[in-house]
Amino acid sequence: MSDVYDKAKRSAVMARVRSQDTGPELRLRRLLTGLGARYRLHRKDLPGSPDVVMPGRRLAFFVHGCFWHGHDCARGARVPKANRDYWLAKVARNIARDEQALAALAQAGWRTQVVWECDFKDEAALSARLQALLAATSVLKGPTASRAAMT
């Protein structure tokens, strides 16, 4: 099956796919703010450049699109008919990169949380999950905690 767009149009469409400040990411930030959480965005000095970071809690959030990161939901299991081999390899590379970033953060003493695009279908359940996570993670105490919170 061929693409419905010509190469120039497909390139323009793909160029508009955002990697930061996506709809799901903004919704997560709204939920966290509503729960009174303080956070930083897109820490490039951390492995994988997490979307939302709480340095005092050493907690990093990744907001993943189900298709782009190969989630096991209906949207994540869908494979385009056009250029199938390319997309299967692309998603496999994304999954491997995600696993490396999560492992590197865990090794550095960070807790991680992946929030999938489909998690927003039930925002009340996601909010409860976030609230429980925030209650379970305490803010670091001591002189190094204040320096960590500033970064």
Please give the Cα distance from 80 to 90 (Å, whole number). 12
CA distance 31 to 95: 26
Supply the pLDDT for residue 147.
Answer: 45
pLDDT single digits (tens) 104-129: 999 999 999 999 999 999 999 999 99
Tens of pLDDT, residues 45-101: 999 999 999 999 999 999 999 999 999 999 989 988 888 999 999 999 999 999 999
151 pLDDT band, cuts 50/70/90, is very low
Indicate the residue type of 149.
A
Segments in 35-121 forming alpha helices (H): 74-77, 84-107
Q: State pLDDT tens for residues 36-47.
A: 999 999 999 999
Burial 107-116 (b: 16+ CB within 10 A, else e): eeebebbebb
Residue range 20-30: average pLDDT?
A: 91
Q: Say if domain 19-150 classifies as CATH 3.40.960.10.
A: yes
Per-residue pLDDT at 27 exceeds 80 = yes
Residue 142: its pLDDT value, please? 45
Q: Where are the domains of the chain?
A: 19-150
More confident residue, 143 or 101: 101
